[in-house]
Amino acid sequence: MSLIESLRSQVLEKESEHAARIAEREAQEAYYQKSLKPAMLSTLTYFSEVVSNLRFLETTSTVELPVSPDTESTVTLEQGNYELLHDDIKNPVCLEIIGECSLVSPQRFHLSTPEQVAHYTEFLDSIQFSYHRKTQLDSFYEIKSATFDLEGPMKVGIRVEASATNRCVYIYLRNLEGMSTRRYQFAPERINSDLLDRLAKLLLRQESKLVKVEVCSNMRSVLREQVEAEKLERDADIARAMQEMLLERQAEADAKKLSTKLLNFTSTLKAGLTNTA
């Protein structure tokens, strides 16, 4: 292939890649306009009204959250101060509903080991709970213990994102289902009034889970039988393994006895031959 032919081939390949990217962007835009935009607009409209009403009513709620060092004992906080953020009112791609959890009373915790200090620091950072830490050092200037004064507030919220690339709507939950961030993926047609209402109730702590998995009685029976069958199989495997181990030990013992008998017989035979000589 000549130089000019090689250059022409490269130009055609680049033009083809560029055309493919344009076609993909156009397809994604068409999908957004047809499927994602209606879902995002309905979400924006719904939460605009919800947040507006919550702010007008100055709605607050008392919540008990596991933000203590053992991440099990709860601390009392007051949740409120809701806000709605969005990128584009006409063609929304991302919107977020945010609330704040503020301490009802001061909270101080003293942790006596470096491991506890590191674990609690990591936990508070992961949930973005503001705090002041006073650290005590040992003679080697390494962390010995620490006292934590929680400050807050801690953010909670819901983020809704339209993904034309993956043709879905992502819903992120922040410090609502447990002390972490959860992500759910929905087809745009799943974003309906029932789901939005459940989202709002989740934000207000009137629901604990966004998606409930219900198992019918027949399925529960099947699962129970499956668990029992697996347990029986495990028990049979253990019994079989124990039997094999016992047989191996018995075989080893028999072999050892036989070896001892042969050794004694050989010694006796040698002694007899020696005496005869």
Kindly give the interhelix angle for 37-57 and 193-203, rounded to the nearest 10 degrees.
40
Mean pLDDT of the chain: 88
Structure tokens at 9: 């081939």
> pTM of the prediction?
0.72
CA dist 109 and 112 (Å) reads 10
Question: pLDDT tier at 274 (50, 70, 90 boundaries)?
Answer: low
More confident residue, 213 or 6: 6
Strands 107-111 and 131-137: unpaired
pLDDT, tens digit, for every residue of 184-234? 999 999 999 999 999 999 999 999 899 875 545 676 666 677 777 767 776
Least confident range of 55-64, 135-144, 174-183, 233-242 = 233-242
Q: Give the residue from 78, 107, 84, 111 showing the smallest Cα distance to 97.
A: 84
pLDDT at 186: 96
177 or 109, greater pLDDT: 109
Query: To which H or E segment does residue 89 belong?
Result: none
Can you tell me the distance from the alpha carbon of 99 to that of 92, in angstroms, rounded to the nearest whole number?
20
